[in-house]
Amino acid sequence: MRTRPLKVALLGCGVVGSEVARIMTTHADDLAARIGAPVELVGVAVRRPSKVREGIDPALITTDATALVQSGDIDVVIEVIGGIEPARTLITTAFENGASVVSANKALLAEDGAALHAAAEKYGRDLYYEAAVAGAIPLVRPLRESLAGDKVNRVLGIVNGTTNFILDKMDTSGAGYSEALDEATALGYAEADPTADVEGFDAAAKAAILAGIAFHTRVKIGDVHREGITEVTAADIASARRMGCTVKLLAICERAADGASVTARVHPAMIPLSHPLASVREAYNAVFVEAEAAGQLMFYGPGAGGSPTASAVLGDLVAVCRNKLGEATGPGESAYTRLPVSPMGEVVTRYHISLDVADKPGVLAQVATVFAEQGVSIDTVRQQGKDGEASLVVVTHRAPDAALSGTVEALRKLDTVRGVASIMRVEGE
């Protein structure tokens, strides 16, 4: 074993960063044995130096992250500060000054991953980011390495623990969205500002990263169709139950049947209770990968939190340090297919549409005519009426999303349709 330690700088010391520092200290001997050399934490960049950080030598704390990554003697920089800037500049500066980088920054990678990969390649450094997608769940490396010889056609899963917790509570307890969100916040699953989670931004960033790796093409967060869960109601959950389904926020990345394009989307969807994703409870994540040779693979586990995310960071640290010792680099960006990302309107989906309609003869015929005119085939219809008002629930066969959206707009114009109570896609069948 080499006795001279590999030097590591840590950018950020919040929930994840502090856990990374703790594991590096308490498991130092094991890490050294697995790497082939000891690792030494030589600096921790933070914004608030006065905060007490148990187990971390105060002498390591600095507010000058730029000087830390410019020092020239750092082997690996671990970036867990998040956001676009200053993280982007700090990572590229680290590459320029001889350091490889381990990051958990999904937002940055989904927005500017191509440029970061290019900078890593230019300077001969590693860029690893297992922790950016699904916490402790090994997903990036299996896609990037284990399945490198296969053709991945679809990635489907639950990649945000906060929204899964909220939807699970709405399903199991009958709670409304606001009530379930309050419980998630009280338990620490939701941030004080939960927008990134509940509006789907977090899941969309992860979908962009997964699609790019799976399909060997460049997908940015702006390419991902995004819908959150704020409009999901207890009535939607109950309606799903009547269909033998539950509601999940899904990230879906697919290669077109002709192989000429890909799609990436995040939205709530009804899935059958028989589907394995339906049983993913509370704040857990699960992802299906469908490949031509390997078939269906499922990855399941905690998708967030200090310890799970730190586990993924440390796994990357070991891999990058091994590469350093071997004077090599791991796999970089693979975007050779250059496949275009199709818009959501071209995606073929099923819809569950709940309408408030007048309870009188001929309404169903009018509604059915609208579907026929838009070229959308109806699978099932359920109608309930009382005191002159009625609810009409229509489940469609698969059709282009644009046709389904056009159908909804046409339905809104009918005099007999009082309103569209809910619209949700149906997946997993």
Please tell me which residue in 106, 169, 206, 248 is annotated as part of the active site: 206
What are the DSSP calls for 278-329, one per residue?
Answer: GG--TTEEEEEEEETTTEEEEEEEE-SSHHHHHHHHHHHHHHHHHHHHTT--
Cβ neighbour number for residue 53 with a 10 Å cutoff? 19
How many Å apart are CA 252 and CA 214, to the nearest integer? 12
- Residue (of 117, 128, 42, 121) closest to 316 by Cα position: 128
How many Å apart are CA 340 and CA 390, to the nearest integer? 44
- For residue 239 the two structure tokens come to 């309606």
- Residue (of 229, 183, 177) closest to 203 by Cα position: 229
To the query of whether residue 169 is one of the catalytic residues in this protein, the response is no
Residue 142 is given by DSSP the state I
- Residue (of 189, 139, 137) closest to 167 by Cα position: 189
Distant-in-sequence, close-in-space partners of 361: CB < 8 Å, separation ≥ 6: none
Q: Which stretch of DSSP H or E encloses residue 77?
A: strand 76-79
List, by residue number, the catalytic residues: 206
